[in-house]
Amino acid sequence: MSVMTFISPALRSETQDLTALSAPLSIAERQAALEIGRGLVKGARARANERPYLDAFLQEFGLSNQEGIALMCLAEALLRIPDDETADRLIAEKLASGNWDSHSGRSDSLFVNASTWGLMLTGRLVELPDELRGNANGWLRHLTQRASEPLVRQALRRAMKIIGSEFVVGRSIEEALQRSATDASLALCSFDMLGEGARTDEDARRYYDAYVAAIEQIGRSVDGSLHQRSSISIKLSALDPRYSAIHRERVHERLIPRALELARLAAARGIGLTVDAEEQDRLEISLEIFAAMAGDPTTRDWPGLGLAVQAYGRRAMAVIDHVTELSRSHGRALAVRLVKGAYWDSEIKRAQERGLAEYPLYTRKCSTDVSYLACARALFTASDRIYPQFATHNAHTIAAVLGLARTHRDTAGRAVDFEFQRLHGMGTLLYDEARRQLTDLPRVRVYAPVGPHADLLAYLVRRLLENGANTSFVNRFMDERVPVAQVVTDPISEIEALTTVEHDRIPLPSHLYGPSRLNSRGVDFGRRSSIEEIGQCLRSTLTLPSPESRYVTAGVVETAFRAASLAFPEWRGRPVDARAEILERAANLLDQSRDAFLALLAREAGKTAGDAIAEIRETIEFCRYYATSARELQGRVSVLDGVTGERNELSHVPRGVWCCISPWNFPLAIFTGQIVAALVTGNTVVAKPAETTPEVALAMTDLLYRAGVPRDALHVLPMVGKEFGEVALRQPALAGVVFTGSTRTAQWLNRALAARDGAILPLIAETGGINAMIVDSTALPEQVVDDVLSSAFGSAGQRCSALRLLCLQADNADRILEMLEGAMNTLAVGDPTDLTTDVGPVITASAAADLERHIAQMCQRGRLRKRVAISPNTGSVPRDRFVSPALIEIDSIGALEREAFGPVLHVLRYRTEELPRLLDDLRANGYGLTLGIQTRLDGTRRMLFEGTLAGNVYVNRNMIGAVVGVQPFGGTGLSGTGPKAGGPNYLHRFTTERVLTINTTATGGNTALLTLE
């Protein structure tokens, strides 16, 4: 089926994007919106006693205080914890973390505290005794001390359910429809079957079935014309676990048919169906799906198909134009629900992580408000085709939209049919007040989530954030401490008063690290144009010579050391700034040559696109970070404090010729990181790249020469490691060794260095580890599964930081394993030049055979739970280089004796009381590289961090991909010597410290002291 595609507009600055929106309101409309909006707030405040209890409660415990955050943590985790012991610990910890008394001195906050807590704890509205009303801390301490008692646990679980149920209309669609039939405020709903972000095909099937059942039920139980009937909202991420722009083909094969079926069913039942808006990097692909739905001739006469559009997105106006065009070209009416957007904070973080050129959304709230109004205006203009639905809880937005509707009516000579929408549990009082004050308020539909508590959490957290954020209208709406004039403001005037539209405290991703260095450029995998560009690089035919044909003979090693030694005086004599500039030039050159390196990494090292891009970025960051660090270290002498009449200067000088030995798993980043660290501090280098990846190394060497590194200062010798080591470590000019690779080779190097006569030389070694992730029952299974997949199987498990041993608390192990196995089923293992591949080959056929032997051995000691099928398409890579990801359950750490460097994950269950022993066992293996922790318990996190040897500990996230200068990387014990690569102390080891002490009084007297004022 051919579908009309949405092409994202070219990237512009935020200022340009905002300026392109034509002035959404006239002066008169602005004035009226302010007056009406303020009137609504005043009216609502006068009826404060009618607001729901929890409304006041949520406002009091917002995100600006410890107690609100503690409550959010409880709400996010408590209900999913299966075991009482862990639930009790979470309760005790979170209640102890707040200063609950601080909420008791405020106006009616006593009511907020006492009665609402009472309501939540007992399920009934109770009058608490006076002594408790006045002493929230004492009361909660009392609770905390008794937190192991089932009563308190049950009470708090109920409390969290009450918070949750504020936002949910029913656990099932039947319950929700029943409520809607009897509660007038819920008569017109858009039901949302909770559940999003399917991780497995089974999840997706379950969510799809729930949508089907809900559409059937809604269709049967409500009457009226389409826009007067309750409708359904769907999330595309619930319908397929691989819903992303990269998986376009799969989206067309699996997701589009499901979306079409749902739309056809809704059309047949005569109810509306809106596609919710999710992350910005799914925008283009979501529009492709929507276009397919809009182009479906079988539903053409049904005007109920709708799309949510996020005004915070800088492409919002382009999306509205696109939907209008879809409507025109298919000759059908569509609906648009305009929202501001619910994922602002996570979008900003994601854009920073990905090093995007621009944020895909506005960075100031007032810009989003202006965008919303501009989009609203466009929707009215298109209202002959598009049915506008305005979702907001903001009094100013309501007033301004009504103003636009009136203007449109006056100019078009006819009234527009449109509606407002609010979320269940929010905006009740505001719309009630609007209904009283405004005669032309149209119908108001309630977005009504339906589902069990287990599926509520992601939604609930977004609602708590929205209620708690002080930029939110709802957070300040009823707060008497904030004057009405500050609650309802004119966003256009706010923009006009700004010096920059871009938020001054949210730097562009490229400027994340301040003025000293640029962040590396990433790829926007949400844009089809970027995906196509990367796909083309990967497909480029590249024939590489055999690695062996590049090898030099051992005789060259000695010559190289001699030449490097001769080059040392000149190179060290250059100002550090000149050397740093060469690194910066190299970084820029590599950025420009990204595509060539991408193809090379895929071809020679079997890297997938994501891994190759990450590696290129890391290399660029090493160059920039070490350039900055070197300027700091060597750009000036440090003058040390001491007695008067004396000057003490500390300086760091280079050591001489460094030997750099790098591995094949990061043939670009580690190879370059070692070399440029040595070079920038004034040393010269003889480097040996990995045997299997000489092409990448030679291409980078050439780039470094082009950037200005003198050929004599850097000698790169592809050859067999053992032959190189034996000659290199005997060279008199050798001043230090930096090595990344196996522990065994590091120990060999250490012994060889110790056997030398003469100066004792430094060795920086980074080796491997048996890295674990410890997951307790407070962790979110979806997040655990995402993080385990990327940590264990990303880069085909060939990272020294990769996860090898997953330790699951027995209470939720089955649930996580089931989800993990389901998610493993969706992994694509095959041709690394195919963008959809998740797991590429391992480095050689013999490495693959070795891994298979390990798997066979471990299966005898434990139980094989899962292996993933290898795709028939392995591209130009021989099939014997592929190892299908394996999951093996073992019952003791002892069963895992060595690091298996590939996509093999071992899993072990533990009981809570065994955690300290588990930690001891992990320490006993002597490795200390990375540790993952997934817990919401601060106490557990602290205990594990203090008890581990691991050099890098990651909490509630994946445990790979350390960022240069942000997460300095390196282990302890058998895992390495430090200092950490990409950290502030790394360059020190490449230098020697010298101190110059001058008696400044010797040449006369203490002039400095005598001339003191």
Please list the alpha-helical segments (H only) found in 833-900: 845-861
Q: Is 425 left (phi over 0), alpha (psi -120 to 50) or beta?
A: left
Question: And the tokens for 650?
Answer: 């500390």
The one segment of 111-119, 123-131, 385-393, 556-564 that binds ligand FAD by CB under 6 A: 385-393
**Whose Cβ is closer to ligand FAD: residue 90's or residue 351's?**
351
Pairing of β 763-766 and β 734-740: parallel
The one segment of 308-316, 712-720, 723-731, 916-924 that binds ligand FAD by CB under 6 A: 308-316
**Closest separation in Å from C-beta 19 to ligand FAD:** 16
Three-state DSSP state, 42 = helix
Q: Scan residues 752-781 and list those touching ligand FAD (CB under 6 A).
A: none
The one segment of 43-51, 111-119, 173-181, 333-341 that binds ligand FAD by CB under 6 A: 333-341
The one segment of 362-370, 448-456, 601-609, 651-659 that binds ligand FAD by CB under 6 A: 362-370
Residue 684 and residue 687: Cα distance in Å, rounded?
10
Among 237, 324, 368, 977, binds ligand FAD (CB under 6 A): 368
Among 167, 208, 211, 362, binds ligand FAD (CB under 6 A): 362
**Closest separation in Å from C-beta 284 to ligand FAD:** 16
Per CB under 6 A, 317 contacts ligand FAD:
no
**Closest separation in Å from C-beta 337 to ligand FAD:** 6
Among 358, 466, 611, 695, binds ligand FAD (CB under 6 A): 466
Contacts of 263 (CB under 8 A, 6+ apart): 273, 293, 296, 299, 305
β-strand partners of 807: 774, 908
**Closest separation in Å from C-beta 188 to ligand FAD:** 11
**Closest separation in Å from C-beta 398 to ligand FAD:** 9
Among 133, 314, 422, 854, binds ligand FAD (CB under 6 A): 422
The 622-641 contact track toward ligand FAD, x by CB under 6 A, reads --------------------
Of 370, 633, 661, 355, give the one whose Cα is nearest residue 519: 355
User: Torsion angle of alpha carbons 999, 1001, 1007, 1010, nearest 10°?
Assistant: 110
**Whose Cβ is closer to ligand FAD: residue 176's or residue 775's?**
176
**Closest separation in Å from C-beta 210 to ligand FAD:** 18
Give the angle 514-516-517 at the CA atoms, nearest 5°.
Answer: 85
Task: Write out the H or E segment, with its range, that includes residue 766.
Answer: strand 763-766
Per CB under 6 A, 500 contacts ligand FAD:
no
Per CB under 6 A, 561 contacts ligand FAD:
no
Among 308, 675, 697, 784, binds ligand FAD (CB under 6 A): 308
Q: What is the CA radius of gyration of the chain?
A: 32
Residue 725 and residue 316: Cα distance in Å, rounded?
59
**Whose Cβ is closer to ligand FAD: residue 391's or residue 614's?**
391
> Running DSSP on this structure, what letter comes out for residue 778?
T
- Whether 930 and 953 have beta carbons less than 8 Å apart is answered as yes
Catalytic residue among 623, 659, 660, 800: 800
Catalytic residue among 466, 618, 766, 899: 766
Residue 881 and residue 606: Cα distance in Å, rounded?
10
Find tokens 């093999």 and name the residue. Answer: 904
The one segment of 45-53, 214-222, 421-429, 639-647 that binds ligand FAD by CB under 6 A: 421-429
Among 157, 247, 364, 936, binds ligand FAD (CB under 6 A): 364
Among 165, 200, 397, 798, binds ligand FAD (CB under 6 A): 397
- Whether 116 and 53 have beta carbons less than 8 Å apart is answered as yes
Q: Scan residues 446-465 and list those touching ligand FAD (CB under 6 A).
A: 447
Of 488, 471, 480, 463, give the one whose Cα is nearest residue 54: 463
Burial annotation 687-711 (CB, 10 A radius, 16+ → b, else e): bbbbbbbbbbbebbbebbbebebee
Three-state DSSP state, 687 = strand
Among 30, 89, 350, 393, binds ligand FAD (CB under 6 A): 393
Give the angle 803-806-809 at the CA atoms, nearest 5°.
Answer: 155
Among 241, 341, 388, 522, binds ligand FAD (CB under 6 A): 341
Pairing of β 886-889 and β 863-867: antiparallel
Per CB under 6 A, 471 contacts ligand FAD:
yes
Of 695, 663, 934, 919, give the one whose Cα is nearest residue 816: 934
Among 73, 423, 687, 919, binds ligand FAD (CB under 6 A): 423
| Binding residues with ligand FAD: total (CB under 6 A) | 31
The one segment of 306-314, 374-382, 513-521, 946-954 that binds ligand FAD by CB under 6 A: 306-314
Helix axes 136-145, 84-96, angle to 10 degrees: 150
Of 129, 133, 86, 135, give the one whose Cα is nearest residue 112: 133
Three-state DSSP state, 1012 = coil
Three-state DSSP state, 973 = strand
Per CB under 6 A, 418 contacts ligand FAD:
no
Cis-peptide, bond into residue 979, ω within 30° of zero: yes
**Closest separation in Å from C-beta 212 to ligand FAD:** 20
Of 426, 311, 433, give the one whose Cα is nearest residue 38: 433
Per CB under 6 A, 339 contacts ligand FAD:
yes
The one segment of 198-206, 356-364, 657-665, 695-703 that binds ligand FAD by CB under 6 A: 356-364
Among 167, 343, 387, 927, binds ligand FAD (CB under 6 A): 343
**Closest separation in Å from C-beta 182 to ligand FAD:** 21
Among 57, 312, 431, 724, binds ligand FAD (CB under 6 A): 312
Residue 709 and residue 684: Cα distance in Å, rounded?
10
Residue 30 — φ and ψ, nearest 5°? -65, -45
Q: Scan residues 256-285 and list those touching ligand FAD (CB under 6 A).
A: 276-277
- Whether 437 and 39 have beta carbons less than 8 Å apart is answered as yes
β-strand partners of 648: 640, 997
**Whose Cβ is closer to ligand FAD: residue 290's or residue 343's?**
343
**Whose Cβ is closer to ligand FAD: residue 369's or residue 766's?**
369
Among 91, 193, 246, 391, binds ligand FAD (CB under 6 A): 391
Per CB under 6 A, 207 contacts ligand FAD:
no
The one segment of 97-105, 239-247, 388-396, 518-526 that binds ligand FAD by CB under 6 A: 388-396
Query: Using CB atoms, what's the residue nearest to ligand FAD?
Result: 340
**Whose Cβ is closer to ligand FAD: residue 344's or residue 597's?**
344
**Closest separation in Å from C-beta 366 to ligand FAD:** 8
**Closest separation in Å from C-beta 325 to ligand FAD:** 21
Residue 131 is among the residues annotated as catalytic for this protein: no
Among 86, 299, 363, 791, binds ligand FAD (CB under 6 A): 363
> Running DSSP on this structure, what letter comes out for residue 242?
T
Residue 551 and residue 533: Cα distance in Å, rounded?
33
Per CB under 6 A, 394 contacts ligand FAD:
yes
CA end-to-end span of the chain: 86
Residue 660 is among the residues annotated as catalytic for this protein: no
**Closest separation in Å from C-beta 235 to ligand FAD:** 8
Give the angle 517-522-524 at the CA atoms, nearest 5°.
Answer: 145
**Closest separation in Å from C-beta 815 to ligand FAD:** 28
Find tokens 């394996």 and name the residue. Answer: 886
Per CB under 6 A, 342 contacts ligand FAD:
yes
Residues near ligand FAD (CB under 6 A): 276-277, 308, 310, 312, 337, 339-344, 362-365, 367-368, 391-394, 397, 421-423, 447, 466, 471-473
Would you name the residues annotated as active-site residues?
Answer: 766, 800
